[in-house]
Structure 1
Amino acid sequence: MTGFTLWEAPDNVSMAAVALALSSGGAISSLDTTVLLTVDETMEAMSRATQVGYRPPGA
């Protein structure tokens, strides 16, 4: 069985603590988390991306 939930926490560490507590009981056999960014965080990431020295293979 697969299930999905959406949680909001004050910070990533708090959410990690909840995820660890839920999964440590054994009722959850697999747990994936995805951090969602705010618009401001996304804009900052886009700005920082221009400073990353990545070149695709073969370029």
Structure 2
Amino acid sequence: MDALQFSKLRRRIRGMTIRLARQIMKIADTNGDGHISVDEAQAIAFEQEGIGAGARSQSE
């Protein structure tokens, strides 16, 4: 893979990541203002990592 191919691959991966973040935020944005709270963001991060509510309360 040359530098140009690698650069294109990085752009595609970044684009996929941004699209996924938008999809996740759309679900978490309960009031539809286009933003999520810190608590909602933490809940999403914990869910993505497979950390349950019980483990979450122990770490706080």
Q: Does TM-score exceed 0.5, indicating one fold?
A: no
Instruction: Write 1 or 2 for the structure with the bigger share of helix.
Output: 2
TM (norm. structure 1) is: 0.25
